[in-house]
Amino acid sequence: MSIIRVAVSGQPNCGKSTMFNAITGGSARVGNYPGITVDRLEGVYQQNGDSIHLVDLPGTYSLTSYSMEELVARNVIVDEHPDVVINMIDATALERSLYLAVQFMEIGAPMVLGLNMMDEVKRNGVTIDVKKLSTLLGVPVVPCVARVGQGREELMKAVAAAYKASNGKWKPIRLSYGPELDPVIERMTAIIAEAGFLVDRHDPRWVAIKYLENDEQVIEEGRAAGSLSAKLEALCKEAEVHTRQHVGTTPDAIIADWRYGFINGLLKQGVVSGGDELRRTSSDSIDRIVTHKVLGPVIMLAVLWVMFQITFTLGAYPQGWIEDGFTWLAGIGTQYIPEGDLQSLIVSGIIGGVGSVIGFTPLICIMFAMLVFLEDLGYMARVAYMMDKVMRIFGLHGMSVMPLIMSGGIPGGCAVPGVMCARTLRSPRERLATILTAPFMVCGAKTTAYLMLVAAFFPDNPTRAMFLVVLAAWGFVLLVSRLLRSTLVKGESTPFVMEIPPYRLPTLRGVIHHTLERVWQYVKKAGTVILAVSIIMWAVMTFPKLSEETVAGYDAKRDAAAEQVKAANPDANEENLAALTEDATKAIEDEQNEEALKNSFGGRVSQFISPVTELAGFPWQANVALIGAFAAKEVFVSTMATAYSMGEVDPEESESLSEKLAADPAWTLPAILSVFVFMLLYTPCMVTVVAIAKETNWKWATFSVFGSMAFAFAVSVAIYQIGKLILV
């Protein structure tokens, strides 16, 4: 029995994953490519004694390392050296789709071409001569309709035949790139081959072409390999000067032109006939409205608003059920576990922490389902097209809009799905800038804190105050994105090369399948790390405890208060006496909680940093509340309540706390504005930090913690100090 290793490739929206699912059925398993978060799907197909092992590559437009997906697809081909590559292409856009196929042929991988959507081709009155296309390309070509599984078996037979015909040998094709580049390519190829430079992974001519395309990953690899890289880069600069002087463009543009020229020449040999003018007519008609200069943005905002409302309105019900379930579980823990540290750890630390993560799952599920639907429909590509010019000014990408909205661009969002939503960005730089700034938005948890603060300090104009907070969030996101793209995430913006696919109604099965994959990844990843972080935060806010003498002193006060109540109400029954005693001892209980909070590591840190935070005008109560809010921003309200000796306060009903804050002279206007801005910009909550780590790495997650903290503090100090000069 032969084991055939196959990579399934294709451009986004070409039906690649649909065909992969049709071939592998329920055998596919989900994983990740090593070190990154791009999903890796694998499955097996048995045929005539052959075991065909398939891996589904990320959807890519090319094999140049503009995006993580393109880099992953290329590295799988280069490093894993599959026996055969299946390249699924959209037959309704043959010229565009063959661009990726040509690049696979340049690498030399044995390939089978799957012409998907042949039913649409016929419906549009177009005829593709499959046999002639196969002959001209020199690879097997199989017509398919992936959504109904048509062509699946023929594709697998072609794979087995290609495997046997290639006998494990790769044969790169040699395209001409014209008189301006061919000489330098030949010269560089000879130098690379003679020195054995990078030839253990790549074909020498391919390396030369990638240097001319200014492929960052190959150039970095070359620099690490030796000094020859400098010589090759010098030749590339000479070539660029030459091409700019003679043809007014760059080598990479010439290479792309000649590839398309090769494809055009091939198709003009009678491969495609009839009905060209009919293709995409319906999509073009829809786009006249959907991407219209005025109507397009209005429709886009409406779609985003509807998505937002559905996610956070509809999702609130199952989220509430899950939270109720964890509350019930905490009640069970409180009832059956003896009172003490173990009970506190399990109930407050573990159940509370894990519950906060699992509670987001319904929002994630609903949001991803709609996102997958819009992606498969072809609408997200149009959103990116419309917003790209504006977002590019600030170093972002058109696709950044969706993560920012989800994170709280409209108050009430959540940074966790927002950060995960940034997966739709193809460019790594713009994606990273989006992920790092999305937590600045006014998420639902921050909204509860701001509602309390606004009610305390701006009771006459709460709507205007909240509106200004939201505007400030957008302003900081754009400014910080520009700052990041000019410094730490420096580099030219990725070219906007996304093709606009025709509209195509997604299948229910496809939407469910892809949604559940993403949701499971979230639960599995976030749920494991967050447990450890929850326990740490619980310990920080719990230990060390008050001394036995101090606790005994409070017990004595409670006993004395109870005796006074008993003496003052000699005729009260047992139930009334208990209620009166509880009221009388509540102030003592709150005072003890406040002292316990001050005595904990979190409280001690708060007091320790007070001399520093006084520069920003923070009252000590805000210090400890902001530390506690790292666990979840909602904790800000409850910790402030404890710090103001008010016991537990429901974040949704915090009027009494607002009154107490308003009466505190420490909250001057400069201090209020300083805390408002700090709350907006400082460290994301721990769930978001974990999500950032999983979507990037722990280095950037750590930066999001300390970088945001430093930036927020600097801005807050500036606001407070300037405010004191002007307003006080």
- Asked whether residue 17 is marked as a ligand-binding residue, the answer is yes
Q: Given the structure tokens 């340049």, which residue do they identify?
A: 106
- Asked whether residue 697 is marked as a ligand-binding residue, the answer is no
- Asked whether residue 90 is marked as a ligand-binding residue, the answer is no
Q: Contact, 137 vs 266, CB < 8 A? A: yes
- Asked whether residue 320 is marked as a ligand-binding residue, the answer is no
- Report which secondary-structure segment, H or E, holds 128: strand 127-128
Q: Given the structure tokens 């149009």, which residue do they identify?
A: 382
Least confident segment among 283-292, 532-541, 572-581, 588-597 = 532-541
Interior angle at CA 133, CA 131 and CA 134, nearest 5: 65
- Asked whether residue 491 is marked as a ligand-binding residue, the answer is no
Peptide bond into 110 cis (omega under 30): no
Largest CA distance in the chain: 108
Which has more pLDDT, 322 or 142? 142
- Asked whether residue 208 is marked as a ligand-binding residue, the answer is no
- CA torsion, points 61, 62, 66, 69, in degrees to nearest 10? 70
Q: Contact, 297 vs 391, CB < 8 A? A: no
DSSP state of 502: P
Residues contacting 7, CB < 8 A, separation 6+: 54, 55, 57, 73, 76, 77, 80, 82, 84, 85, 86, 109
Which has more pLDDT, 473 or 362? 473
pLDDT at 702: 94
Average pLDDT, stretch 558-580? 86
What domains does the chain contain, in order, with CATH numbers? 3-166 (3.40.50.300), 181-279 (1.10.287), 281-494+507-544+656-727 (no CATH)
Average pLDDT, stretch 244-272? 80
Q: Residue 691: pLDDT above 90?
A: no
- Asked whether residue 14 is marked as a ligand-binding residue, the answer is yes
pLDDT tens-place string over residues 468-503:
888 899 999 999 999 999 999 887 666 554 556 667
- Asked whether residue 56 is marked as a ligand-binding residue, the answer is yes
- CA torsion, points 376, 381, 384, 385, in degrees to nearest 10? -160
pLDDT tens-place string over residues 326-356:
888 888 888 888 888 888 788 876 777 677 6
- Asked whether residue 78 is marked as a ligand-binding residue, the answer is no
- Asked whether residue 461 is marked as a ligand-binding residue, the answer is no
> Count of alpha carbons within 13 Å of 354, Cβ hemisphere only?
16
Tokens of 648: 């537990």
Average pLDDT, stretch 2-28? 81
- Asked whether residue 37 is marked as a ligand-binding residue, the answer is yes
- Asked whether residue 25 is marked as a ligand-binding residue, the answer is yes
- Asked whether residue 10 is marked as a ligand-binding residue, the answer is yes
- Asked whether residue 443 is marked as a ligand-binding residue, the answer is no
- Asked whether residue 264 is marked as a ligand-binding residue, the answer is no
Average pLDDT score over the chain: 81
- Asked whether residue 118 is marked as a ligand-binding residue, the answer is yes
Phi, psi dihedrals of residue 112, rounded to the nearest 5°:
-120, 130
CA distance 452 to 441: 17
- Asked whether residue 117 is marked as a ligand-binding residue, the answer is yes
pLDDT at 630: 79
Tokens of 437: 């700034």
Q: What is the number of other CB atoms lying within 10 angstroms of the CB of residue 515?
A: 20
- Asked whether residue 36 is marked as a ligand-binding residue, the answer is yes
- Report which secondary-structure segment, H or E, holds 141: strand 141-143
pLDDT at 525: 54
DSSP notation for 620-646: HHHHHHHHHTTT-TTHHHHHHHHHTT-
Residues contacting 445, CB < 8 A, separation 6+: 414, 632, 633, 634, 685
CA distance 510 to 513: 5
Tokens of 21: 């699912």
Q: Given the structure tokens 């090759």, which residue do they identify?
A: 232
Q: Residue 153: pLDDT above 50?
A: yes
Highest-confidence segment of 220-224, 253-257, 438-442, 599-603: 438-442
Least confident segment among 355-364, 519-528, 685-694 = 519-528
Which has more pLDDT, 511 or 646? 511
Q: Contact, 487 vs 480, CB < 8 A? A: no
CA distance 317 to 320: 5
CA distance 375 to 718: 43
pLDDT tens-place string over residues 604-636:
888 888 899 999 999 877 887 888 787 777 677
Rg (CA), the chain: 31
pTM recorded for the entire structure = 0.56
pLDDT tens-place string over residues 37-84:
456 678 888 888 888 898 888 878 777 756 666 777 778 887 788 899
Amino acid identity of 79?
Answer: D
pLDDT at 226: 83
- Asked whether residue 679 is marked as a ligand-binding residue, the answer is no
- Asked whether residue 164 is marked as a ligand-binding residue, the answer is no
- Asked whether residue 21 is marked as a ligand-binding residue, the answer is yes
pLDDT at 125: 81
CA distance 620 to 608: 10
Average pLDDT, stretch 718-725? 93
Angle between helices 462-486 and 444-457 (to 10 degrees): 130
Q: Which residues pair with 88 in a beta bridge?
A: 10, 114
pLDDT tens-place string over residues 214-225:
888 888 888 988
Average pLDDT, stretch 693-712? 92
- Asked whether residue 12 is marked as a ligand-binding residue, the answer is yes
Q: Given the structure tokens 């959907």, which residue do they identify?
A: 290
Residues contacting 230, CB < 8 A, separation 6+: 223
- Asked whether residue 13 is marked as a ligand-binding residue, the answer is yes
> Count of alpha carbons within 13 Å of 5, Cβ hemisphere only?
11
Which has more pLDDT, 464 or 311? 464
CA distance 626 to 429: 30
Of the chain, the end-to-end C-alpha distance in Å amounts to: 84
